[in-house]
Amino acid sequence: MEEKISEYEFLIGAIKRLKKPPYKGIHSVCSGFNQAFREYFNKDPVEATTKLAQEGKIVTRPVKGGATLYLPEDAPAGSKAVLNKILEEGDFDETLEDGSEKKSP
């Protein structure tokens, strides 16, 4: 019997082969990943993807009916990055208490 690939290799291969442009990730359920993982490893795919995400090898985002799985370089910006972008100094006008606007320098 052929030697099995690792869970990490399986997941990376799945993301690369199952994603459909313009999307950069795969839905764990709709793509068939969860079922294929169970068939190949006889294990719970949620435990494996959670572990790999904690190790920083993949990125997961919860979505309706499952999770979207991404390669780290393809993942959307996290909430911290978005917050930092919103709060960058000098990029927006400020409304004063009297309703007038203070322009950024």
pLDDT digits (tens, 9 = 90+) for 54-100: 999 999 999 999 999 999 988 887 666 667 777 776 555 666 666 66
pLDDT value of position 86 = 75
Cα(8)–Cα(16) distance, rounded to whole angstroms? Answer: 12
pLDDT value of position 87 = 77
pLDDT value of position 99 = 63
Cα(88)–Cα(43) distance, rounded to whole angstroms? Answer: 44
Q: Which two tokens stand for residue 45?
A: 């795919």
Q: Which two tokens stand for residue 82?
A: 């978005």
Picking from 44, 82, 50, the residue whose alpha carbon sits closest to that of residue 69 is: 50
Cα(7)–Cα(9) distance, rounded to whole angstroms? Answer: 6
Cα(67)–Cα(69) distance, rounded to whole angstroms? Answer: 6
Domains of the chain, CATH where assigned: 7-74 (1.10.10)
Q: Considering the entire predicted model, what is its pTM?
A: 0.70
17, 53 contact by CB (below 8 A): no
- Single-letter amino acid code for the residue at 79: S
5-63: per-residue pLDDT in tens?
A: 999 999 999 999 999 999 899 999 999 999 999 999 999 999 999 999 999 999 999 99
Q: Which two tokens stand for residue 83?
A: 């917050």
The residues facing 3 across adjacent strands are none
